[in-house]
Chain A
Amino acid sequence: EDQVTQSPEALRLQEGESSSLNCSYTVSGLRGLFWYRQDPGKGPEFLFTLYSAGEEKEKERLKATLTKKESFLHITAPKPEDSATYLCAVADNYGQNFVFGPGTRLSVLP
């Protein structure tokens, strides 16, 4: 059974203090790993898709990386508007299932 865990559960950063969020996964043949951002009471917003180990993608202050067992979301010099829950999800080779992790709740203080 596909499984996704994320750490830490919650993270508080000062504005400008860079850090990384972790997503560890167990999947029967990874087809894709996805990062989403979710604001309270709203739908998840797509950020990145990673398909193979070694792949990296960047968007503004965010950079996602992928290894065979985990993915990292690096946040460089975060701003208060980066505060949100960051969700990781995996799709397996069967393409039939999309499993989300529990998320990391990020708070960036001014």
Chain B
Amino acid sequence: DSGVTQTPKHLITATGQRVTLRCSPRSGDLSVYWYQQSLDQGLQFLIQYYNGEERAKGNILERFSAQQFPDLHSELNLSSLELGDSALYFCASSPGTSSYNEQFFGPGTRLTVL
């Protein structure tokens, strides 16, 4: 158990809908990272927040957005969903600002878009 929690575990929705995924980092960690993992793309970095501020952006679509709240939990919002958005979404946390600290991953949210 990494100490990172994610909810929900599974999410099934339809194309065009909007969903919110939630992540709570390990106690004391200030950075939260979001990743998407699909069968054909591997693990893709989406975005990083550090202590409430956006720190780095990866391959995140404009339809996706994230935020980190004062209690350090983070939410990833996915809108206008398409079939291709079906994937596992992971959240990770680390204590520092930079990605060269090891990251600890949550169990993931499996999103299925029908």
Q: How far is the CA of A101 from the CA of B2 in the complex (A)?
A: 21
Main secondary structure of the interface of A (DSSP, over half): strand
Q: Mark B73-114, 1 if CB is under 8 A from A, else 0.
A: 000000000000000101010000111101111111010000
B49 on the interface (CB 8 Å rule)?
A: no
Q: Which residues of A contact B90 (CB under 8 A)?
A: 43-44
- Across chains A and B, the number of contacting residue pairs, with CB separation under 8 Å, is 63
Q: Please determine whether B45 and A97 come into contact, CB atoms closer than 8 angstroms.
A: yes
B14 on the interface (CB 8 Å rule)?
A: no
Size of B's binding interface in residues, CB under 8 A: 26
Q: Please determine whether A43 and B2 come into contact, CB atoms closer than 8 angstroms.
A: yes
Q: Please determine whether B2 and A32 come into contact, CB atoms closer than 8 angstroms.
A: no
- Interface range, A side: 20 to 34
Name which residue of chain A comes closest to B42, CB basis: A102
A71 on the interface (CB 8 Å rule)?
A: no
A107 on the interface (CB 8 Å rule)?
A: no
